[in-house]
Amino acid sequence: MSTSKIENIGKFLHAVVVLQYVPRIFRIYRLWKIVNETIILPKKSTIVDASYKNLIPPKSFLVMKAGFNLLLYLVASHALGAFWYFFSIKRETTCWYKLACEHDIINGCSKDISLDCGAEGFGNYTFLNDFCSIENPNTTLFNFGIFEDARQSGILSSMDFPRKIMFCFWWGLRNLSSLGQNLQTSTYYWENCFTVLISIFGLLLFLYFIGNLQVYMQWEASNELEEIKSKWLKKKEQEKFCTIESWINTIGLPEKLKRMITDYVTPKLKDQNNDFDAENPFPHLSEEIRRQIKINLCLPLLQKVPKFQNESEELLSKITYEYLKQVQYNQNDFIVREKHRLDAMIFVVGGIVCTCSSNHADKTGCPEKCDLIGESLVEWVLESPKQSNPPSSEKNFKCLTKVEAFRLTARDLNDIFQLHQSKECGPYLRRIQSL
């Protein structure tokens, strides 16, 4: 077989060996893409959530990710070792052809040199043992560079396949890990290209692993921040809940209403986007709960007013729910000062309000406590439909603590009597208004 024919067959086989890695690389790329899209480190909060009980734990995600990275590294090492073995055989046959041709030139070179034992051009080439010697390599005649280790180890002539696989894999793993820094190359162009690719590929894998490490560190930091935030939110939620409980105890609600309020506010407090005011939860409660609170707290106070004592509970409940507005006063606030005009009735449902006059002998404190302010406003509204010259307060009403109360303004009182004087107010109110 002629040299040109052997070279063509060799080139074809070389191309087959190299090209069979293309579909493998494509499959590895698809696997890498699937892993990056599906194996995503979840947040700890989603793992803890009851609806995510069947999710894989975070440690398993890390093991899967690390396992894929290791697999990618091992496959790359195996591929580099395989190419190194392939190029080692190629360089050895190149040495044979080159030196055989030079020897033939000395003795009248033949163009059809063949090292095939069955070819007609077979000759005595025992001199190759001297020029391409493994025991005494001559780098002046032919420099094998990074492929000398393959010749020295004997794997090129060995028939032990596991030995070949393991040695080539170790060579690829070692040089990929060191980025090819310890490789001593010859001046052969493709050999230098191969070592450059080893360095670049090793660097890319190193950067990929560093990127994954950064992702893991960011995931850990994010989870730590999320845990701190979760603890802070839980503490804040607990503080708000305690504040609401304190508010409930201050105004003295029954157990049934306490449970209704607790059941209503619990999911509200867990919602981070819901800015629930724990200091004044009343406006944020449902309409039914607000109605129940007003009736429970203010109806007994409204029944203390002499002008309302003979009215039906249905009418008073309607007045309580429709007209009373919630207010809050801070400690040491004056609800009404002495000789100041009264513009509303105040029903105190929580906290302490004391009364005293400016000419009282005890200047250090207030001798009387009250829960109803501005009773005289009812008589004034009945006597003055046009609401001119409202009465003045005869005492100071000062808050000793934070006070929860409800207001019934003079205008609302007038509207009540105007709306109900013919139907709901009854004969007593009609008689009082006619005086």
Q: Is residue 43 part of a domain?
A: yes
Q: Which helix (H) or strand (E) holds 247?
A: helix 189-251
Question: 40-44, 198-202, 303-307, 320-324: lowest mean pLDDT where?
Answer: 40-44
Which of 171, 192, 218 terminates a domain? The answer is 218
Pair of tokens at residue 145: 């560079």
The whole model's pTM is what?
0.53
Q: Which helix (H) or strand (E) holds 350?
A: strand 344-350
48 and 153, same domain (yes or no): yes
Which of 173, 200, 218 terminates a domain? The answer is 218
pLDDT value at residue 406:
92
Tell whether the model's pLDDT for residue 418 goes beyond 80.
Answer: no
pLDDT value at residue 169:
92
Q: Is residue 242 part of a domain?
A: no
Distance between CA atoms of residues 69 and 226, nearest Å: 27
Q: In the structure, what pLDDT confidence band is assigned to residue 149 with cuts at 50, 70 and 90?
A: confident
Q: What is the average per-residue pLDDT within 391-409?
A: 89
Give the whole-number percent of the chain exceeding pLDDT 90. Answer: 5
Domain total in the chain: 2
pLDDT value at residue 123:
56
Query: For helices 313-323 and 287-302, what crossing angle results, to 10°?
Result: 120
CATH of the domain at 423: 2.60.120.10
What average pLDDT does the chain have? 77
Instruction: State the residue range of the domain holding 354.
Output: 306-434
> Residues 371-396: pLDDT tens digits?
888 888 888 877 765 666 778 888 88
Tell whether the model's pLDDT for residue 54 goes beyond 50.
Answer: no
Helices (H) and strands (E) in the chain, counts: 14, 8
Which of 218, 241, 265 terminates a domain? The answer is 218
